[in-house]
Each structure stands twice: as C-alpha cells, then as structure tokens.
Structure 1
C-alpha cells in the first residue's frame, strides 16, 4: 500500500530488518522468561540462523534513512516562498 505514494512523487522506503533487541525489554525479555522458569533451551540442533539488530542500531539506521530522504529538497525559506507563489 505504501508504494502507491510513489504515484504522487512521494519517496517511499521499504525497510526490512531482523529482530530488534535491547537488554531493557522487547524480545530479550520474552526470550529470557522460559529460562527463568528452567524450561528454556535451543531450538532443534541450534544451527538455525537468526537475524537480529540492536535497538540503538535500528534507530540510527532509520534516522539516517529519513535524513537522506528529507535532504533531497533543501531550500532556504526565501527560495521556498518564491517557488510556491510562482
């Protein structure tokens, strides 16, 4: 649905990430719960690949992505005003 915005020349970024983790909660807290009750363990042979990213890195990359999108059309206020009235 977001891609429909491109019909109106609106920049769209499709972001795909791994599991976002942080020691203060989120997935880590949920993963630790079974271990606290003594029933946690690896899945099958433990060789499955798990894609993850820290919360700080995730936020930093989203900020970088948004910054690059927002910097596409920079203008000082005077130029902007002239553009919209012409």
Structure 2
C-alpha cells in the first residue's frame, strides 16, 4: 500500500485550512479597522503625551546630561586598577 498519497492529502487539507484562516483574519482585521478607526486614531494625541514621561522613565541614556565632561569615578574604560593613579 502506498502511503505517500495519504500524506499528500493531509498536507493539502492543512494548506487549505491555513488559507481559509488567513482570509478570515484579513476580513476580521478590515472590519475592525473600518468600524473602530475613529476610536483608534482619536487616542493618538494622548499616546504622544503618555510617551514623554514613559521615555524618561525607561530611557537610561548614553551618558549624563550636562557639558559632556565625564564625572570622576564613573567607570571610565581607560582607568587602571582601583587606587592606581594615571
């Protein structure tokens, strides 16, 4: 008995169901977007204002604020052993 034909039929049904699911999700996304577009786009200005404090909370920066001069003892790469003077 040849089992390759049976395997191909199972693969084909999986492929068809994948296309059906993709089509259903696309249609659902379209209707969600068209029906709720005003709600989603209306919240964008508030998200901009919320992003400012969130950015300050979670942004740990690329150095400190100020003149750009490094502070003493803040982990410079070119320092030697602890207590060693350059």
TM class, shorter-length: under 0.3
Length-normalised TM-score, structure 2: 0.27
Length-normalised TM-score, structure 1: 0.27
Which structure has the highest strand share of the two? 1
Which structure has the highest helix share of the two? 2
